[in-house]
Each structure stands twice: as C-alpha cells, then as structure tokens.
Amino acid sequence: MSARVLSQLVALGFILLGLIAFSMRYYSRTEARIALQDSLWRLTYDIGFDLGDPETEVTVSLPTSTSAAEVEVEELSYTNLRGEIRETPLSKNRELVVNTNIAGPFNVKAEFDIRLRPRHSWDEQNTFETLSASGRTRFLRSDETIVTTAPNVQEVVQTISRDDLTDGERIQRLFDFCSQELKPGLASDGYDNVATALANHRATSLGRARALVTLCRADKIPARLVVGFELRQAENPRPHVWVEAFHGNLWVPFDPTYGYARHMPDNFIPIRRDGEVIVRSATAKDLTQKYSIMRLAPPEKVLQAEMRRPSQVFDLTRLPVEMHQVMSLMLLLPLGALITAIFRNIIGIRTLGTFAPALLAMSFIYAAWGTGLVILISVLMAGYVGRSLLDPLHLLMVPRSSIVLTIIILFVVFGVSVIDYMAPASGVRAVLLPLVILTILIERFFVTSEEDGATFAVQLVVGTFVVAAFCYLILSWEEIGQILLIYPELHFFTIAAFIWIGRYSGYRLVELWRFRDMVK
C-alpha cells in the first residue's frame, strides 16, 4: 500500500473517529441537559356530585400530551359508576364520561403524572391542520357567553379592524385591545360578561378570554377557548382560560390575562379545548371540584449526576472556571497551526517557524491587541537599538544575541513597571506571555539574519505577521474556544486536515505569481 493511499485512509479514519466522538458527546450532553431540565408533576382531581336522575351524565376533561408535556401515568377511580373515555374529533379532547343507574352522591378521583420536558426552538407547539367547513362554522358561531352580534362587539371590531389588514394583524390588534384596554374587574360586578366588559372596559380573566374569542369570531376569524393549568406547586389551583385563534393552518395561542401572544409557556397544560370548564353536567347537583399540583422528586440519575466517574476525565468543562480560559487557549493552538500550515504549504508564505504566527496571535488575544501592540513596538525598538549599538564591537553571534535579549528584557520589565504605576489595576500579568513569545521571535530574527541575511529575515517577519493577523481574526472568536472546550474531539478533524495538507505536492499560490512570466 502506497504512502498516499495510507495517508488518505488514516485521514478518513480520524474523520470517522471525530464524528463518532462528537456524536456521543453531543448525545450525552443533550441527555444530561434534558434530564436536569425535566420535571415530573402530579395533577390530582377530586370531583364530587349528586346524581338524582339515573340518566344524568358527568363529563370530566382529561389532560392530553403536548410537545412539551407528556402524560406518563394516568389513574382514574370512580366507585359504583360506569365510565367511558371518549375523544372529540373536532377539538381532539379526551373526556371521561360517567353515569349510573342509581341515585346518590358519587366521587371521581384521578391522578396524572406529567413529564415536563424542555422544548427545542424548532419544535412546533401546534401541528398544521385543515379546518373543515363544519369546524369553521362551529368556531365562528355565537352562543350563550359569546354573542358576536351584540352592538358593542360590532362597534369594537369596526373601530379596531380594517379590511386592508392581514388576519395576523387583525388578531394582534384585538389581542392588544383585550389585554391592555380591559382593566381588571370582579366577577361579582358582572365583568365575566362580554357586553358588560366592553361597555365598561373592565373584565375578569375569563371575561378577557371570552371577549377575545367574541371579537375574533365577529371579525370572521375562527377562535376557541382553552382551559388548563399552569404546572406549579399549588394545593388548590384554579383552572386558567386562554384563547386559540385559527391562523395559517395553526391554532395559535393568545392569553390576554398574562400577555402571552402566539406562544404559551411549556408549563401551561391544556385540559379542554373549546370550553371554559373542566367538569360539566346538565342536572348533577352539589358539584364540587378540588385540584392539586405537586412536583415529584427527580429521577436518581439526576441526583447522582455529580458522582465521580472515570469518564469525567474527558469532560473539560468540569474543571474550575478559572482554568477554562487557559484550556481554551491551549485548544486553539492546533487551529492556529492549521492556519499557518495552509499559508505555508498551499499559499506559500514563509514564517519564523511553524508555531510562531499562532503563538503571536495567541499572545495578542491573551493580553488584548492594544497591550500586545505596545509590547511588540517596545521589543522591536529595543532589539533594533541594542543590535545597532553592538555592531561596532564585532562580537560573536551567541553573546551578541544574549546581550540583545537582556536589553529587551530590561526595557520591557521597566515598561511593565511604568504601566503598573500609571494603572495599578491594569493586570500587568497579562504581558508576560506576549513578552516571552516576542522575545523568542526577536532571537529567531537575529539568528536568521546572521545565517541567511537581513532581507530574508525581514521577509519571514512580514510573513509571520501576515499569518498571525489571520490567526488572530479566527482565534479571537470566543465561541470557537468554548466549542473546543466542550468538544475537544473536533481536533480529530484538524489532524485529518494536517494529513491532507502534508500530502499536498501541487503549486503554491505564491509560486504561480513568481513564475507568471514563465507561464506566458
């Protein structure tokens, strides 16, 4: 097997290894995040009623799973009652319908364990659907509490809505009116009633929701009430009512009480759509409803997530926060070397060593580019002046370079002292890394000028600064260092790129320019 084929296989192997390692870490981090953000809640019903008529039915709405909440456990208890779970096709509700042949008091109890999961930004809260003609008629009609033909309803619609507005703009205007113009009111004063609420600009929470549905239907926009719960610890929570308007083949939620528009928080769980009560019966007496919401303990894997395991060695984010910057800088060095390799082997720009541009860029990042520039100018001036003063002495190369380095060190050290005197809180410790790196570069410059001439050394310095500038532009992105700290296995792709660059034997771009006359 030739070296070229072997190198290609090795590069592909590193890419495959990088993909596997990245996928495994991404999956494990996602699972850990979801496990930490998951919460398990228990919603309890305790419903009592008296059935004097054996033909009476009592309907209890049940929670349904959503993209953010999943009903994991459901336990229903009803003694001496016949029960049947039904689904309404139009509103997609789940309902428990109970009845009996005997009269007397009865009780229905239910427990629901609901897993609340974080929803990703790309998840849809609702699903696309087509509203049939019968469904459109249903969600545009008037009823006892939603009277679309009332004079003040039509007056508000004509004032707010216009024909040149889109459906979305009309819904938004009606929502703004109900959430902002209708001030809080009491149910005892009749502000659950839409006509009374619009006449006095006051409404209860239920009155606002009714008003929004009424105005939408009066404006020929299908709308419905939704009753549900907010999942939070409560002994006797009250059901909350909001609105869904049909727009763009979606039922879009609006809550004029809390101000949520087009999106409801994940912890709001719908119990019944197209209605405002959870339990309903035509003739049942002494109807009582008690609800409770309790958060359950998290799973054991969440509680044991911080236990020491050998696999944690590969998780760099567990290190102390003060070490994150240093580790990120170290992980950026291979990326800087990759940029240098591209410039040297493909473009053809020579530099003072392989790592010099990356180290120079890293020094500027560590100390901020302003501080690095001051140090750079200081080092260059000290090196040039010291070298000029030593030329008449005709010293050997090593002692002469050592004297120059000593002059540079003294020059910069006293410069650091001046900086600390002028601004004690400036953090002069940040200049140490640039100082060391620039001093090494100055030494290489003088050594190269002695061996290959000053002109060639200047070319290397210019090339080094050009490549360092590109390295600085790339490596100064904090997001790159953070990503590499979380997913260090991405450097498997860097190794694969080094292998491919190492096998490159074509023309460098600079050579095409140098030999352009020969091509002609």
pLDDT at 140 over 70: yes
Quick one: DSSP state of residue 118?
P
How does pLDDT run across 304-347, given as a tens digit for each residue? Answer: 555 566 666 667 777 777 777 778 878 888 888 888 888 888 88
Write the CA distances from 335 to 324, 465, 475, 499, integer angstroms. 17, 17, 8, 14
The Cα–Cα gap between 31 and 117 comes to 11
Would you state the pLDDT for residue 119? Answer: 58
Quick one: DSSP state of residue 232?
S
Question: Cα 72 vs. chain centroid, distance in angstroms?
Answer: 26
Would you state the pLDDT for residue 260? Answer: 92
Tell me what the mean pLDDT of segment 79-100 comes to: 88
Who contacts 35 (Cβ-Cβ below 8 Å, separation ≥6)? 298, 299, 301, 302, 305
| b/e code 93-116 from CB counts within 10 Å (16+ = b) | bbbbebbbeeeeebebebebebbb
Would you state the pLDDT for residue 385? Answer: 76
Phi, psi of 455 (to 5 degrees): -65, -45
Would you state the pLDDT for residue 389? Answer: 77
The Cα–Cα gap between 266 and 115 comes to 11
The Cα–Cα gap between 92 and 94 comes to 7
How does pLDDT run across 281-295, given as a tens digit for each residue? Answer: 888 888 899 999 998
pTM value? 0.60
Q: List the domain boundaries for the chain.
A: 325-486
- Helix 491-502 to helix 3-37 angle (10° resolution) is 170
Q: Confidence band (pLDDT; 50, 70, 90) for 122? A: very low
Would you state the pLDDT for residue 124? Answer: 47
DSSP helix, strand, coil percent of the chain (3-state; round to 5): 55, 20, 25
More confident residue, 180 or 451: 180
Q: Confidence band (pLDDT; 50, 70, 90) for 435? A: low
Q: Confidence band (pLDDT; 50, 70, 90) for 123? A: very low
Tell me what the mean pLDDT of segment 98-102 comes to: 84
Who contacts 455 (Cβ-Cβ below 8 Å, separation ≥6)? none
Tell me what the mean pLDDT of segment 201-221 comes to: 93
Is there a contact between 439 and 405 (Cβ–Cβ < 8 Å)?
yes
How does pLDDT run across 232-290, given as a tens digit for each residue? Answer: 888 889 999 999 999 888 899 999 999 999 888 888 999 999 999 999 988 888 889 99
Who contacts 33 (Cβ-Cβ below 8 Å, separation ≥6)? 118
Would you state the pLDDT for residue 121? Answer: 43
197 forms beta bridges with none
How does pLDDT run across 142-169, given as a tens digit for each residue? Answer: 988 898 888 888 888 888 877 778 888 9
Would you state the pLDDT for residue 281? Answer: 87
Average pLDDT, rounded, for the chain: 81
Q: Confidence band (pLDDT; 50, 70, 90) for 369? A: low
